[in-house]
Amino acid sequence: MEGRLANKVAIVTGGGTGIGEAICKKFAREGARVVVCGFPEDPVEEVAKAIREEGGTAISFTGDISLEPNAKRCVELAVKQYGQLDILINNAGVFPATSLLQDYPTEAFEYMLKNNVASTFMMSRAALPELHKTHGNIISAGSEAGLIGIAQNTPYGGTKGFNHAFMRGLAVEQAQFGVRCNCVCPGPIDTAWTHKETGPMDKEMEQSMIQATPLGRRGTPEEVANVYAFLASDEASYVTGALYFVDGGVTVAKGPVGDKVKGSLKKEPNGTLKTEHSLDGHTQIREEHQ
Ligand SMILES: NC(=O)c1ccc[n+]([C@@H]2O[C@H](COP(=O)([O-])OP(=O)(O)OC[C@H]3O[C@@H](n4cnc5c(N)ncnc54)[C@H](O)[C@@H]3O)[C@@H](O)[C@H]2O)c1
């Protein structure tokens, strides 16, 4: 396929659901050959299959990539299958609990350290030797919460703040090898995490999240994927060490400004990607991956 990512090979972690699914499909449309990576329970093969059916190129990889051997295997698979690696997207992450810190479960904190922090470290380290060869780039999932914090899930904001600082340091040290490193920092996105029915937020949290967002709605996974595609492409050849906020303005807002938005302006755009697993994300702690 022709496109901004033609001839590129990309690994997308957490590629089976939510924002990751949209990134995989967007990248494939832009011509990349994609390794859709996720936990064994994730619909990664379904996403890869859907891409192939649309004429794109994709394979799936299953494994917990916060563990060093799995991170290495994932990179090896990309190189074995497609001969190179140009783009690493560290999108995998978890959001397992909300509560005031005095009641915050230790296991939820440790689960985030593993899946939000260790996963980024392990995959980036495993991918760098290949990215040196291609002068590729890494984009990690940050968050507006990583900049301004998030009440009732304070450790989550901390793990995303790690990703911001980690990627900025990496941008400086890896520039000499021709590797760019950036973060995409979403605001409230329409995935399992931000719906009270499928995630750990209660009704009040869900409501105040939208009220605090100037655009007055959640973003779609595709709206986030569009920014990943730009940053991953050669169009962003002078962008490194950047935090790109895709947040509906929530980071700069004060008060319930989202309430000012009325009617059709609150409607999410239809987009062009057929994403099917936005509400399939697992927000509970999975025993087998603790
Ligand atoms: N949804 C939001 O509002 C929002 C806001 C800010 C940032 N983000 C970030 O965007 C990313 C995607 O979030 P989402 O809402 O699409 O969630 P999601 O749960 O739909 O997707 C995350 C995926 O990562 C996978 N995963 C987690 N740890 C893994 C590991 N160790 N190995 C393999 N796979 C693993 C999960 O199984 C899941 O499929 C996350 O990093 C999140 O922090 C999301």
List pocket residues of ligand 1, CB cut-off 6 Å: 13-14, 16-20, 38-39, 42, 64-66, 91-94, 115, 119, 141, 143, 186, 188-189, 191-194, 281-282
Q: Which atom of ligand 1 is nearest to the CA of 141?
A: 41
pLDDT at 1: 64
Question: Of the residues 61, 90, 143, 193, which should be mutated to test ligand 1's pocket, given the most ligand atoms within 8 Å of the CB?
Answer: 193
> In degrees, to the nearest 5, what angle opens at C-alpha 261 toward C-alphas 258 and 265?
125
pLDDT in tens, 69-108: 999 999 999 999 999 999 999 999 999 999 999 999 999 9
Distance CA 100, CA 102 (A): 6
**Ligand 1 atom 19 nearest Cα:** 281
pLDDT in tens, 209-226: 999 999 999 999 999 999
C-alpha closest to that of 168 among 241, 118, 117, 238: 241
C-alpha closest to that of 237 among 4, 3, 1: 4
Q: Which atom of ligand 1 is nearest to the CA of 283?
A: 19
Q: Are 47 and 101 in contact (CB under 8 A)?
A: no
Distance CA 259, CA 280 (A): 28
261 C-alpha vs ligand 1 centroid, how far in Å?
28
Cα–Cα separations (whole angstroms), residue 102 to 21, 94, 96, 98, 105: 35, 20, 16, 11, 9
Q: How far apart are the first and last CA of the chain?
A: 39
Please report, as a single letter, which amino acid is at residue 202. Answer: D
pTM of the model: 0.98
Q: Which atom of ligand 1 is nearest to the CA of 282?
A: 19
Q: Are 47 and 84 in contact (CB under 8 A)?
A: no
Residues in the chain: 290
Residue 64 dihedral angles phi and psi, to the nearest 5°:
-80, 105
Band of residue 114 on the pLDDT scale cut at 50, 70, 90: very high
pLDDT in tens, 43-63: 999 999 999 999 999 999 999
CATH superfamily of the 9-268+278-283 domain: NAD(P)-binding Rossmann-like Domain (3.40.50.720)
